[in-house]
């Protein structure tokens, strides 16, 4: 089907203020509201819901209009086909890059827990990035007991209850191929491929969509790939912390105390607050690389969803200048994001009688300020008083049932923001 944009109202027979109208050779989207990109995405959702999965964009479309349509023309059931409108080589390359990276993010995040275990996720991510620059990428994978021997206690403990071993991927994109080149940035992603909640078990309804708890790992991988396609020429590390959080006779338990590499002791008061435990390892490895810029992303807290309503990602940082610039990058990339509070005192908001800190508060949702307290926990594991560190709580990367703008399942929100942050902050 051909689809055009129109600045005129639809004919009366289509209804007053109709967004879509049809003619023999295709459909028209009528841009008559104050939110044209939202109109375009909503129109694409309607067409996709009607079973239209092959579309050619006809006439004049700018870059962001085409991407808005692409975001709406998605369904987890069918692989859609989209032909871009005539545009410059630069625009086409950017759109193709977003499409490639976004498709990978969706495929990984929508995969079933049986299809995508911790090792599978690490291998898929390494293969995807390596394919883009085979001679500039190297990686190593640690798993199972090797994690414990290396001191990555959080990832090991969270994942040890599963028959599928926990895995850490450390990928090195080194475009200059100089082993002594400084690392300009590190990306860290939470890769919990299924989250039962452990002994703090979720309800069946709460567990149903937990295949997407590896969304952070998918988003940071997609962001690195997109930045590479946009011309990234600095050395960057990608660190994915991958595990299944399950219940078994070997699973970690409430009341356990973990001692991290930096000496911080953590009492487990909620086994469902596992994401911060694995990210703590990833953040320490990122800091050990010497990278002055560290970006992490995770589907970390329901509290961020409660605060922002599921349409915005939450930004946190002790480096207020970086958070402010990240907001600017998010706006430039048309990805809704909003900063939530984080101050040094947030790291003390989960007290423990037995350890330096607990991993949460032993109340539903972690209690008041749960998202900020989780970010405060993470701040214990970054260097330089948090300067150069940005934490993204991905409150909007997955839609359980879909809506007028988004298909059910994964989307790409956060990928472009992190790619822009990575590029602009390392120039």
Q: How far apart are CA 305 and CA 81, in angstroms?
A: 32
Angstrom distances, CA of residue 167 to CA of 101, 119, 149, 177, 297? 23, 6, 13, 26, 17
- The SS3 assignment for 237 reads strand
Strand pairing class (313-316; 236-245): unpaired
- Cβ distance 172 to 136 under 8 Å? no
Catalytically annotated residue among 63, 103, 202, 261? 202
- Cβ distance 169 to 126 under 8 Å? yes
Catalytically annotated residue among 234, 276, 416, 420? 276
Neighbours of 28 (CB within 10 A): 23
Helix (H) or strand (E) holding 379: helix 370-379
Q: How far apart are CA 268 and CA 362, in angstroms?
A: 9
Exposed (0-12), middle (13-18) or buried (19+): which is 281, by Cβ within 10 Å? Answer: buried
The DSSP call for residue 174 is -
Helix (H) or strand (E) holding 259: strand 257-259
Annotated catalytic, 235? no
Residues in the chain: 427
Token pair of 330 as six digits: 């998010």
Q: How far apart are CA 195 and CA 198, in angstroms?
A: 7
Annotated catalytic, 180? no
Strand pairing class (337-339; 313-316): parallel
Task: Give residues with Cβ within 8 angstroms of 287, minimum separation 6.
Answer: 186, 294, 381, 382, 383
Q: How far apart are CA 240 and CA 397, in angstroms?
A: 17
Angstrom distances, CA of residue 106 to CA of 175, 192, 204, 212? 27, 16, 23, 10
Q: How far apart are CA 418 and CA 220, in angstroms?
A: 7
Chain centroid offset of residue 21 CA = 35
Q: Which of the residues are catalytic?
A: 202, 276
């Amino acid at each position: 089907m051909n689809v055009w944009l129109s600045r005129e109202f639809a004919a009366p027979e289509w209804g007053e203020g109709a967004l879509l109208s049809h003619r023999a050779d295709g459909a028209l989207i009528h841009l008559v509201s104050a939110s044209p990109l939202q109109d375009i995405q909503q129109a694409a959702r309607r067409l996709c819901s009607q079973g239209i999965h092959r579309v050619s964009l006809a006439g004049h479309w700018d870059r962001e209009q085409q991407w808005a349509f692409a975001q709406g023309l998605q369904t987890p059931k069918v692989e859609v086909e989209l032909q871009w409108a005539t545009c410059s080589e630069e625009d086409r390359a950017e759109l193709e890059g977003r499409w490639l990276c976004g498709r990978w993010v969706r495929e990984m995040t929508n995969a079933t827990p049986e299809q995508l275990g911790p090792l599978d996720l690490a291998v898929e991510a390494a293969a995807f990035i390596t394919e883009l620059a085979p001679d500039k990428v190297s990686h190593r994978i640690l798993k199972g007991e090797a994690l414990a021997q290396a001191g990555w206690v959080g990832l090991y403990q969270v994942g040890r209850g599963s028959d599928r071993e926990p895995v850490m991927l450390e990928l090195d994109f080194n475009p200059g191929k100089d082993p002594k080149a400084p690392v300009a940035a590190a990306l860290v992603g939470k890769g919990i491929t299924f989250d039962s909640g452990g002994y703090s078990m979720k309800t069946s309804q709460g567990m149903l969509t937990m295949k997407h708890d590896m969304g952070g790992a998918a988003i940071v991988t997609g962001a690195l790939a997109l930045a590479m396609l946009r011309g990234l020429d600095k050395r960057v590390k990608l660190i994915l912390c991958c595990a299944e959080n399950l219940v078994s006779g070997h699973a970690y338990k409430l009341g356990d105390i973990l001692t991290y590499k930096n000496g911080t002791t953590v009492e487990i008061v909620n086994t469902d607050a596992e994401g911060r435990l694995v990210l703590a390892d990833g953040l320490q490895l990122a800091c050990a690389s010497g990278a002055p810029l560290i970006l992490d992303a995770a589907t970390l807290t329901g509290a961020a969803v409660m605060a922002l309503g599921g349409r915005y990602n939450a930004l946190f940082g002790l480096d207020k200048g970086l958070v402010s610039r990240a907001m600017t990058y998010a706006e430039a990339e048309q990805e809704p994001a909003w900063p939530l509070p984080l101050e040094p005192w947030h790291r003390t908001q989960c007290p423990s009688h037995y350890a330096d800190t607990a991993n949460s508060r032993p109340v539903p949702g972690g209690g008041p300020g749960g998202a900020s307290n989780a970010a405060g926990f993470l701040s214990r594991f970054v260097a330089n008083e948090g300067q150069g560190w940005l934490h993204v709580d991905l409150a909007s990367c997955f839609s359980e049932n879909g809506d007028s703008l988004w298909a059910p399942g994964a989307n790409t929100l956060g990928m472009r923001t992190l790619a822009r942050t990575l590029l602009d902050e390392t120039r």
